[in-house]
Structure 1
Amino acid sequence: MDVTDETEFDDILDDWFIESLKTYKDLHVYQLEHPTRVIEWTSGRTVCVAGCRSTKNEILELHLPLKLFADENKGLCAERDFKVVHGGFTDGPVHCLRHIPGTRCVVTNDGLSSKLQVWDLGGDDSDVIRRTGGVEGRSVSERGSRIAAGLSSDPRVLLHGAQTGDVQLTDLTSGQSLYELETDTAEPLSSLQFVSHSVFLACCCSGNIYMVDSRTSAAPQPSPLPPPPLPPPAAAGRRDGVLWRADASVDRSRPDPAGCRVARLSSSGEALVSDLRNPGGAVCRAQLDVQTDLCGQDDITVSWAPALDDCIAVSGFSGAVQIYVTSGWRAELTEARPLFEHRGHAVSSQHAAGPPVCVSSHVWHPERPRTLLSAATDGSVHVWDWVHPTAAD
């Protein structure tokens, strides 16, 4: 980079920093040695991350900056850095990681097979994360397994599978299979998610969704994507060859999953919201303001805000995380602009040579309405609490 480019980058970074003083309540930055594709809460103040290189990787539990949680007199809190509290090594990449609620245990998958690895995160007497076991899948897979931990207080139940024909519930203590999904199809899965103690969603890369009740032996039927609007806009008409992701808004205070909403997002930027009482229909939809040719499809993510009504976060298209409000969307497909956009990963990496930086993962804080964590392909990890635009005026 020559002097002129360096100066321009410094100006862009300075402008964004000045802007961030008004648009963020909190913003903290951490740099991993290698990128991560997983961020998983292990408590309200700690997260687990792991490397995704093809060789040996770190698996770390990080404590978020204490200054983030100082409600008053933040300026008097000197602790503004992430802190490694537990760590270990894994021989391969980590493409999926889930914490088992109520335990100090996480389960991982390498994205290359259906096998799972079980880890002890350590405690007060040890800062070492150790592998303690494994779980075999029902079939051989080259895409890797998706994992979901149960919502109940029983920490033994684990849901996992690579495709619709090999999903199973496993007792982690005994290794015994508690339930196996039987279907006539073998669609690759993009996610698995519990919506109640006994009901889960198997979301396919094609956009199909299976709602499965593990208490019954009846084979579930897929709920396909709602038909595209007619005539489809040019951008939204591309449904062939795209990858779909999904996330359900789970209300843990309600045992009935029928009131849940599902957000589906395609790699072409089309988003639609369905009600689980009619998952094959669309309550509303939108064409999002995203770049569809900058990054790959593997890291595209959509997630409902757990403590903020009608908000979803979207990432994986670029070096930004976007927040959208779905309450203004209609049944007809229209273009949607984000309510807020976190551009910190892209801005801080503009001086680096090589491919553009893309966000590889993001998660909402389970209780703080506007707090998110995000990670990018340059190894950066950000935690940020954004200010609602009307509050910033």
Structure 2
Amino acid sequence: MADNAEDDDWFFDSVTRYKQLYMYNLQYPVTALDWINTNCVCVATRGRPTHHELSELSLPEKLCTSEDLALSKNRDFQVLSGGFSSSEICDIKHIPGTRLICSSSKKGEGHVDVLKLGSLHTDLIEVDRKLKNKKPKGSWSLIAVQDQNHVIFGSHGDNLCCGDVMTTDVLQDTCECSMTDKISSMRNVHPHTVCCCLTDGKILNWDKRENTPNVFDTGCDHSVQWTMDLLGNDMIQLSSRGHVQWIDMRKPNQAIYLNNTGLSTNDAQFLRIHLKRQNGSPDQYSISGFDGNVYLYSRQSQTPLFVHEGHARNSSGDPSEVKVVTHLHHPMECVILSAATDGSIHAWRQT
């Protein structure tokens, strides 16, 4: 248990540190998150060995708008639809403009399920079809959405597949690629290209119009594990030793910003970094996966602008054992959604 006096201080300080702070406890820990629209999120949780939940949740109305709503009847997450999976879901992506999501699970052998969210006729989330990986390697696939009809999925450099969500056909793949390294993160660049960060920090770019992906080195330390995020030409990488490097993709061999956060972890499975647009351009970034906190930084600073400590401070158990498993920035508002290993999920906007 955290020290009660310190907890009280944190709660009192939160009144001035947050514009909004909503803290909820789910029955099971979150394993994956993705936005469905500006008001709703899809949440996967780890439950019993063969019984894992998938839910479509609406967020509190006051949190999802920059307008000052003096009175709001909706101050809680509302379950809009839900379903179950026999295997723990590790990645989910919503297909924009549809009521479809794609999911990848631990026992899915790298294949991807296409699920229908609830409708006017049912509140169940159900598997509708499956995209099969042409070279399954026993690992779950990361997913990047290209458009309403196409997704790219895979776990390694040599098993990326571009699948048609409607027909389930695999249209292109990298099965002949010699780069067999495992992928830690994947981002869509434009309708033809996906960018992947390999676990050793190398970057793989795959243009679907070409058979062979392009692999390049950003000059990072390959002895540690890395993840990344990408917005336009701005790419940012984070290592398991807490090192950050910001790269202009037009000059990928030269970092334009370096930072040593002083954080470190031996378990990189929850390592996350996200770029955030500030006044139209990426200027801030957030990181998590080292402990029970989410850290927000600016490119103009080496120290955090803000630290969300709520998961550790509000934990009913040992706060040192709580770890943030993932976090997301709201598509429009300055809101962050974060989830931790103790089942807590927080939605917050700092002052």
Given the superposition, is the C-alpha separation of residues 367 and 307 from structure 1 closer, same or farther in structure 2, using an over 3 Å criterion? farther
| Counterpart-to-counterpart distance in 2, 1:280 and 1:157 | 31
**In the alignment, structure 1 residue 126 sits paired with structure 2 residue 122:** yes
**In the alignment, structure 1 residue 326 sits paired with structure 2 residue 326:** no
| Counterpart-to-counterpart distance in 2, 1:205 and 1:322 | 22
Alpha-carbon contact 1:37-1:299 (below 8 Å) kept: no
Given the superposition, is the C-alpha separation of residues 306 and 128 from structure 1 closer, same or farther in structure 2, using an over 3 Å criterion? farther
| Counterpart-to-counterpart distance in 1, 2:331 and 2:201 | 26
Letter in 2 for 1:302: I
Alpha-carbon contact 2:83-2:125 (below 8 Å) kept: yes
**In the alignment, structure 1 residue 169 sits paired with structure 2 residue 142:** no
Give the number of aligned pairs.
346
Given the superposition, is the C-alpha separation of residues 84 and 34 from structure 1 closer, same or farther in structure 2, using an over 3 Å criterion? same
Instruction: Select which of 86, 94, 97 maps to 2:92.
Output: 97
Return the offset for 1:212.
Answer: 2.1
Instruction: Select which of 303, 310, 315 maps to 1:337.
Output: 303
1:124-171 Cα offsets, whole Å, 9 max, x none, are 332111111211112232331110111x4xx11010011000111111
Q: Percent identity?
A: 29
Map of 2:289 onto structure 1: 316
Letter in 1 for 2:307: E
Map of 1:296 onto structure 2: 267
- Root mean square deviation of aligned Cα: 1.9
Map of 1:86 onto structure 2: 81
Return the offset for 1:72.
Answer: 5.2
| Counterpart-to-counterpart distance in 2, 1:275 and 1:178 | 30
Map of 1:12 onto structure 2: 6
Instruction: Select which of 110, 131, 140 maps to 1:114.
Output: 110
Given the superposition, is the C-alpha separation of residues 70 and 42 from structure 1 closer, same or farther in structure 2, using an over 3 Å criterion? closer
TM-score by length of 1: 0.83
Alpha-carbon contact 1:212-1:220 (below 8 Å) kept: yes
Given the superposition, is the C-alpha separation of residues 385 and 176 from structure 1 closer, same or farther in structure 2, using an over 3 Å criterion? same
TM-score by length of 2: 0.93
Return the offset for 1:355.
Answer: 6.3
Alpha-carbon contact 2:51-2:84 (below 8 Å) kept: yes
Q: Which has the higher strand share?
A: 2
Return the offset for 1:88.
Answer: 0.9
Return the offset for 1:194.
Answer: 1.1
Return the offset for 1:179.
Answer: 1.6
Q: Which runs of 5+ in 1 are unaligned?
A: 229-238, 251-259, 329-335, 388-393
Map of 1:232 onto structure 2: none
1:304-341 Cα offsets, whole Å, 9 max, x none, are 1145531111000010000111244xxxxxxx211111
Letter in 2 for 1:22: T
Larger of the two Rg values belongs to structure:
1
**In the alignment, structure 1 residue 57 sits paired with structure 2 residue 52:** yes
Given the superposition, is the C-alpha separation of residues 283 and 88 from structure 1 closer, same or farther in structure 2, using an over 3 Å criterion? same
Name the SS for the 2:89 alignment partner.
coil
Q: Which runs of 5+ in 2 are unaligned?
A: none
| Counterpart-to-counterpart distance in 1, 2:135 and 2:254 | 32
Alpha-carbon contact 1:166-1:180 (below 8 Å) kept: yes
| Counterpart-to-counterpart distance in 2, 1:312 and 1:214 | 29
Map of 2:135 onto structure 1: 139
Give every structure 1 segment of 4 or more consecutive aligned residues whose post-TM-superposition deviation is greater than 4 Å: 70-73
Alpha-carbon contact 1:307-1:366 (below 8 Å) kept: no
Alpha-carbon contact 2:33-2:91 (below 8 Å) kept: no
**In the alignment, structure 1 residue 211 sits paired with structure 2 residue 205:** yes
Name the SS for the 1:52 alignment partner.
strand
| Counterpart-to-counterpart distance in 2, 1:282 and 1:90 | 42
Name the SS for the 1:76 alignment partner.
coil
Return the offset for 1:14.
Answer: 1.8
| Counterpart-to-counterpart distance in 2, 1:310 and 1:103 | 31
